[in-house]
Amino acid sequence: MAIDHQRKVVKHAVGNNGASSFTVVGDGGILLGYYVVPDDGEQWLKHAMLEMVQRHGAVLKDDLKTVASQGNLPKVIYVDKMCCGGTEGSRADAVRYFYGMLKKLDVFHLIQRIGKEINCEHPRKGDFLKRLSECIFTLVQEDVDALKLARDSGGYNNLTPKQEKADKLRYVRTKIENPERIVSKILVVVKGQIAIDREAKKQSMMAGDACEDINTAHRAYPLITKKILKCVMQQCIHILNGCVHDEFDMNVLTGQSNYRDTLTALDTYTSQRGSNRVEAWHSVADRKVYAITTMRRSLFDARLLWHVTNYNRQRLRNLGRENVLPDGVAPSEGSRRYRSSFVESTNLLFGFSYYDYVTRTEIEAHLQDTILNAIENDEELELEDIFNDDTVTDEESDYDESEEDGDSDDDDSIFEPVMKSVIPNLVGANELKMLAGTLGEDLDWTAPANPCAAEQPLKDDEVQRKLMQHSNNL
Ligand SMILES: [Zn+2]
């Protein structure tokens, strides 16, 4: 199972107030739920997740974390955020489980977090992200060998990259193992990129460019800046905390196939890790609403429900399920030929209906509290406060790239692409801390700030507060 938040599609509905969608995808890529939630807060997911657990016939213990009986509930859930607190050792038992499933951070999202920080025009960006992914996933050698044998026997030695990729996806299992080894590999890749950045600056200087103003368009603009190093280090903490590696075998044998008509039978596999499934739905949903500027909420729900229905029918067909209603036929129109088994689930809500339900519940609870407090404290009811809730969540923050301009204070004569950091084969929490320092020093030419210092822009209220502090000090 995998869950994910997204803003893009909900934006097309009227009056969304910065709401986002919350999607639940099951094994096999079937969409199990599509909800609109006010923001990324975990409290909004409870109703949907409890219904999900009930639908799978599982029973949770009182803590709502672990199961009393598993039913058909998957063992692992992949999340896009909230895997742990993001600090060393913060993956305590209390956060390891999510509604009866072991919670794991989806690798796609982990890499995307780093990708978001990198200037999108940087020529080495794509290659860097691909390498990071290769650090995390290990191919199962047995499958690699079997595939190679099959290819050799059929004389397939010049497949296109696309074909090779498709083969790998189908015939080669991947594993995510030893966190300390993964972190070591990642830091080696990062160090290599820092070395290339430094070399680029050196080359520019040798060509007569003083490199005084290295902006994003400059050819010596570094791929790894302090901000990106900080983000990578942050993701390494998740990996060391155990948010990413497999704790169960996540590969499922789906059958055998005659490899490209070579008469060599190869086992075929699919992975139960979440990412590409949710992304596949996102891209479909994006395309469906792309041209529509605004929809009323009920129209949004109706359209999206229709798209979800047809999307799931296609997934079912792909899984070889027969008796799937053709697209364009509503369930109520289906003849008995299509044995649809309706599961009674009165708690199931969709889209903005979900939004209305959970926010109403929240307001009611809040109202209740206010009334009780007022009675206790004998105060006047300040009901306006309840409805003047203007805590609208920020848009995805745009990071200011301008701070990353190269620092020209360096003594040019000693600028050499030689780096201090030595990366051991296994990197644990202590080594990671040390390396944050030394890799940071290797980056000192990119920004004058101290290693790993936050370079993210201040939020508006923080700016105000800082200004106030400043004027108070004067
Ligand atoms: Zn984590």
What is the rounded average pLDDT of the residues 133-155?
95
> How many domains does one find in the chain?
1
If you measure from the C-alpha of residue 238 to the centroid of ligand 1, how many angstroms do you get, rounded to a whole number?
4
Q: Which domain holds residue 294?
A: 1-106+273-351
pLDDT band at 177 (very low <50, low <70, confident <90, very high): very high
Does residue 291 lie within any of the structural domains? yes
Expressed in angstroms and rounded, the spacing between residue 86 Cα and the centre of ligand 1 is 5
Per-residue confidence (pLDDT) for residue 327, from 0 to 100:
78
| Model confidence pLDDT, tens digit, residues 399-433 | 443 444 444 444 444 455 567 778 899 999 999 99
Angle between helices 107-117 and 125-136 (to 10 degrees): 150
pLDDT at position 444, please? 77
- Residue 19 · residue 38 · CB < 8 Å: yes
Q: In 52-108, which ranges are E strands?
A: 59-60, 67-69, 76-79, 97-98, 101-105
Q: 359 pLDDT exceeds 80?
A: yes
Measured at the alpha carbon of residue 31, what is the angle toward residues 28 and 36, in degrees to the nearest 5? Answer: 155
User: Distance, CA 461 to ligand 1 centroid (Å)?
Assistant: 28
Residue 466 lies in a domain: no
Does residue 259 lie in a domain region? no
Using the mean position of ligand 1's atoms as its centre, give its distance from the Cα of residue 374 in Å.
Answer: 40
Taking residues 52-68, report their average pLDDT.
Answer: 93
Residue 162 is encoded by which pair of tokens?
């696309």
> Any idea which of 99-103, 308-312, 334-338, 439-443 has the lowest mean pLDDT?
334-338
Q: What is the pLDDT of residues 75-88, one digit of tens each?
A: 999 999 889 988 98
Q: How far is the CA of 84 from the centre of ligand 1 (A)?
A: 4
What separation in Å is there between the alpha carbon of 75 and the centre of ligand 1? 18
Distance (angstroms) between ligand 1 centre and the Cα of 85 equals: 6
| Element spanning 31, H or E | strand 31-37
Ligand 1 centroid to Cα of residue 103, in Å, is 9
Of 190-204, 230-244, 280-294, 334-348, the range with the lowest mean pLDDT is 334-348
- Phi and psi at 179, nearest 5°, equal -55, -40
Cα of 77 vs centre of ligand 1, distance in Å, is 13
Residue 164 located in a structural domain: no
C-alpha of residue 183 to centroid of ligand 1, in Å: 14
Could you tell me where the DSSP H helices lie in 207-259? 226-241
* Cα of 132 from ligand 1 centre, angstroms: 17
Q: How confident is the model at residue 326 (pLDDT cuts 50, 70, 90)?
A: confident
CATH number of the domain at 31, please: 3.30.420
Instruction: Decide if pLDDT at 193 tops 90.
Output: yes
Query: Residue 374's pLDDT is what?
Result: 62
Coil vs helix vs strand at 198: helix
Average pLDDT over residues 318-338: 70
pLDDT given at position 172: 95
Most confident of 244-253, 365-374, 441-450: 244-253
Spatial separation of the C-alpha atoms in residues 189 and 136, rounded to whole Å: 12
Residue 469 has pLDDT above 60, yes or no: no
Look at residue 303 and tell me if it is in a domain. yes
Centre of ligand 1 to C-alpha 400, Å, is 26
* Single-letter code of the amino acid located at 252: V
pLDDT tens readout for residues 451-468: 333 344 445 555 556 555
Distance 235 CA to ligand 1 centre (A): 8
Work out whether the CA dihedral 120, 121, 126, 127 comes out positive or negative.
negative
Signed CA dihedral, 114, 116, 117, 119: sign only: positive
How many Å apart are CA 363 and CA 251, to the nearest integer?
43
Confidence grade of residue 328 (pLDDT, cut at 50, 70, 90): confident
- Residue 128 vs residue 288, higher pLDDT: 128
- 166 pLDDT more than 70: yes
The two structure tokens encoding residue 441? 């020093």
Q: Is residue 127 part of a domain?
A: no
pLDDT of 345 reads 56
236: which 2 tokens? 């390494």
104-137 residue pLDDT tens: 999 999 999 999 999 888 999 999 999 999 999 9
Q: In this structure, what token pair is assigned to residue 279? A: 């992304």
Domain membership of residue 373 (yes or no) is no
d(CA 70, CA 60): 8
pLDDT at residue 384, as a whole number = 43
Of the pLDDT bands very low, low, confident and very high (cuts 50, 70, 90), residue 396 is: very low
Average pLDDT, the chain: 81
Q: What is the pLDDT of residue 12?
A: 86
Q: Reduced to 3 states, what is the DSSP secondary structure of residue 378?
A: coil
Q: Ligand 1 centroid vs 167 CA: distance in angstroms?
A: 31
Flag whether 207 is in a domain: no
